[in-house]
Amino acid sequence: MSKKQVLICDDNQDLLQILSMGLNQLPQVQVVSLSNGKGIMKYLDQTHNIPDLLIVDLMLPDLEGDDVIVLLRKKEKFAQLPIILMSGVIYNIENRAKAVGANDFLLKPFSIKDLKEKVANYLTD
């Protein structure tokens, strides 16, 4: 079974490390971690492989997570990319996620168990 690539982006390095460690416990997952929105755009422009899932924080220092999603959804290549928007500061994250074209959302704080379950739902063949 080939590994599924999950691209995660958060500017909080501690949370990024926790997310990476938690997702790396799933045997079918390979994690790529980035810390800003422009990094996502650069990575996706330079790679030939589209990740199987993107998890992006709403509040990023350079390019907000919802702006990243809007930009990606304008590109046909990323139209079907499953995206989970996460936030700990906005109460109506579900509405924001839907409005920008994310497939799902995570409200911080969340448990690693919930994260793994949500990710597994998007990585099933």
What are 91-114's pLDDT values in tens digits? 788 999 999 999 999 999 999 999
CA distances from 89 to 7, 8, 20, 32 (A): 22, 18, 21, 24
Its pTM stands at 0.95
Considering its fold, how many domains does the chain have in total?
1
Q: Which residues contact 113 (CB under 8 A, 6 or more apart)?
A: none
Q: For residue 15, is it within any domain?
A: yes
Q: For residue 122, is it within any domain?
A: no
Q: For residue 8, is it within any domain?
A: yes
pLDDT classification of 6: cutoffs 50, 70, 90: very high
Domain range spanning residue 94?
4-111
Q: For residue 61, is it within any domain?
A: yes
CATH classification at residue 106:
3.40.50.2300
The token pair at 75 is 């590109």
What are 78-94's pLDDT values in tens digits? 999 999 999 988 778 89
